[in-house]
Structure 1
Amino acid sequence: MTTMAQDPTSTAARARGRASEIRRHELAAFLRHRREHVTPEQVGLPRGPRRRTPGLRREEVAQLAAVGVTWYTWLEQARDIKVSVQVLDALARTLLLDPSERTHLFQLAGAVDPAPASVSPSVTPALRGVLEQLEPYPACVQNSRYDILAYNRTYGLLLCDLDAVPPEDRNLMLLSFTHEEWRASIVHLEEATRLMAAKFRAAMAGHLAEPAWKALLTRLRAESADFRAAWDRHEVVGSRGKRKEFRNAHVGRVTVDHTDLWLGPQTGPRLVTYVPADDESRRRLRRLRGIAAERAGAGI
């Protein structure tokens, strides 16, 4: 008796299809649950005497989100339909999703949030307190994609005025390859950016299918010739501490030792610290901390 070998391509396609189906059903269940837990009064609608539906009706969600009732019904029925980021954004606002729920919604839909939350669940008040207590040492919290989730005042003025950068652009890769003031502050720019591209390639190996990572890679390739050249080298390197030199616009040149302190698994957030490597850098960082405090007090 002979048996035919299974086509690995078709097997992989069936697995992807099954994963997509599971995600659609999870999305449908999540939408129903959230709809049933939002009261009409919360979104400015009258309850009415004959209401039996817990929470909002489907047609009410569709009306508030400016989508068709049939289309929204299909979404709650886990139909295989395309959902734009604009519609997901409207649904998140209509259903009063908090930052964690909004992130979950976009992940289930396999979409990139066009307006990521400015507050990360991993950045607790206690962790912000740690950042403040590390002053005058520059420190920040980053995730594995190099998004800067939080930072102290000294870090905020170390390479540029980080407060002036839109939250969605506070990403170490974007800043290192596309922000001119940030790039001008790095003493050994070519070496630093080549290392950053190698670290990003190594980190991305575990996130190849994630839309947010793919979107960042696409943007970097589109906006930076330096990134394209570094990326095409196919170099990889793991995360490690390193001595760095910066030209600060306020206090001059500083030399620091960079250390990553992981707050969970190595794919999660990390506390990044810059400890002065010599007495002059220590004095200059103290001055920078004072400048940052003065600017904050003056509301700059």
Structure 2
Amino acid sequence: MDRRELAGFLRGRRERITPADVGLPAGPRRRTPGLRREEVAQLAFISTEYYTRLEQARGPQPSREVLAHLARALRLTDAERDHLHHLAGTPPALPPGPSREVRQSIVDLLHRLPEAAAIVLSATYEVIAWNALAAALMEDFSALPRRDRNLVRRAFLGPRKDGRRLYGVSDAEEFARTSAQHLRAAAARYPNDPETAGLVAELVAGSEEFARLWAAHEVTAGPTLCKTFDHPLVGTVAVNCDVLDIADLDQRVVIYTATPGSPSEEALRLLSVIGTQRMGVPG
């Protein structure tokens, strides 16, 4: 616990908030910038004496419950809340499982890429957002139950077509290896998430290949720069593959684009017109 830094941080956050921000009357003869200490204590459900000692760098280590109340009282952002926990010597609790909530600005971004197929993956490779061209290139994810949108499950346990899984991609083996490594890292980040543990158990039991990769304990993987899809209507589609990390949500945006002027660009343009109607895209 860094009492001096914690004291300065609490004081600085308190002084930036006005009484109106938290629904309190300003009152006469207010000389203190921002809120008074007793007002913060009241909002945080702790005694004024206790809060005063924290600001004077002589208080005891606050509990997680007290820190949560202080974060709410001081209107802290997520980053500020985490910083508060670290200063108090109590690292913020890990989320129970991978986030499936996609920020609206990311959803808007996907739909502003009409010439690119783009999806958002959770930490466990579940497709949690996509644009129309991604649905046309891969499949209509909206028509699938949630469990079938997981690309790791599809890669190791999904149906095969001509001996290949996962949309006939050219790098199926590399993808399988990479996804297993990423899933192992995700399982370590979310050790108490039953859904992640269940996915791993299902894959280990159902796929000898995954079980072998899992037993290797590898957690690093290089980026995939190019990929080729074998599409049932437009044939071979070669694309560049770029991945953007959304660090605060532990998600990835995967963007597939074709080289300008190439046959694959024409194929993607055709798919954007055809859409998912009458496609019957197999997995």
- When normalised by structure 2's length, the TM-score is 0.55
Instruction: Kindly provide the amino acid, as one letter, of the partner of residue 139 in structure 1.
Output: A
Instruction: Kindly provide the amino acid, as one letter, of the partner of residue 190 in structure 2.
Output: L
Q: Which digits, 9 at most, give the CA deviation of each residue in 1:43-71, with x for residues without a partner? A: 11122224443222333223323445555
Aligned to 1:240: 224
Instruction: Kindly provide the amino acid, as one letter, of the partner of residue 36 in structure 1.
Output: E
**Structure with larger Rg:** 2
Aligned to 2:12: 33
CA shift for structure 1 position 35: 1.1
Aligned to 1:83: 64
Does the aligned pair in 2 maintain the 1:257–1:275 contact within 8 Å? Answer: yes
Q: Report the secondary structure of 1:273's partner residue.
A: strand
Answer with 57-66 or 273-282: which moved more.
273-282
Cα distance in 1 for residues equivalent to 2:42 and 2:95: 22
Instruction: Kindly provide the amino acid, as one letter, of the partner of residue 223 in structure 1.
Output: G
Residue among 269, 284, 288 paired with 2:275? 288
Residue among 255, 273, 285 paired with 2:255? 273
Residue among 22, 38, 41 paired with 1:43? 22
Cα distance in 2 for residues equivalent to 1:287 and 1:88: 54
Structure 1 unpaired stretches of 5+: 1-20, 166-173, 205-211, 291-300
Answer with 108-117 or 32-41: which moved more.
108-117
Aligned to 2:91: 110
* 1:187/1:118 CA distance change after superposition, 3 Å: closer
Aligned to 1:57: 36
Aligned to 1:294: none
* 1:200/1:213 CA distance change after superposition, 3 Å: closer
* 1:288/1:256 CA distance change after superposition, 3 Å: farther
Does the aligned pair in 1 maintain the 2:187–2:197 contact within 8 Å? Answer: no
Q: Which digits, 9 at most, give the CA deviation of each residue in 1:159-212, with x for residues without a partner? A: 6349x98xxxxxxxx944589xxx7894479854542132465xx5xxxxxxx9
Instruction: Kindly provide the amino acid, as one letter, of the partner of residue 274 in structure 1.
Output: Y
CA shift for structure 1 position 237: 2.2
Cα distance in 2 for residues equivalent to 1:38 and 1:196: 45
Instruction: Kindly provide the amino acid, as one letter, of the partner of residue 243 in structure 1.
Output: K
Percent identity over the alignment? Answer: 32
Cα distance in 2 for residues equivalent to 1:43 and 1:52: 18
* 1:80/1:275 CA distance change after superposition, 3 Å: same
Aligned to 2:198: 223
Cα distance in 2 for residues equivalent to 1:137 and 1:261: 13
Cα distance in 1 for residues equivalent to 2:177 and 2:92: 29
Q: Which digits, 9 at most, give the CA deviation of each residue in 1:76-132, with x for residues without a partner? A: 436434324xx5554333322345545544665521475989659xx79xx966x55
Instruction: Kindly provide the amino acid, as one letter, of the partner of residue 283 in structure 1.
Output: L
Q: How does 1:169-188 map to 2 (within 5 A)?
A: 175-176=150-151, 186-187=166-167
Does the aligned pair in 2 maintain the 1:188–1:245 contact within 8 Å? Answer: yes
Cα distance in 1 for residues equivalent to 2:76 and 2:230: 41
Residue among 195, 199, 209 paired with 2:178? 195
Q: Report the secondary structure of 2:61's partner residue.
A: coil
Instruction: Kindly provide the amino acid, as one letter, of the partner of residue 118 in structure 2.
Output: A
* 1:103/1:221 CA distance change after superposition, 3 Å: same
Cα distance in 2 for residues equivalent to 1:258 and 1:47: 58
* 1:56/1:188 CA distance change after superposition, 3 Å: farther
- When normalised by structure 1's length, the TM-score is 0.53
Does the aligned pair in 1 maintain the 2:20–2:26 contact within 8 Å? Answer: yes
Does the aligned pair in 1 maintain the 2:135–2:276 contact within 8 Å? Answer: no
Cα distance in 2 for residues equivalent to 1:39 and 1:259: 48
* 1:221/1:284 CA distance change after superposition, 3 Å: same
CA RMSD of aligned residues (A): 5.4
* 1:145/1:178 CA distance change after superposition, 3 Å: closer
* 1:151/1:187 CA distance change after superposition, 3 Å: closer
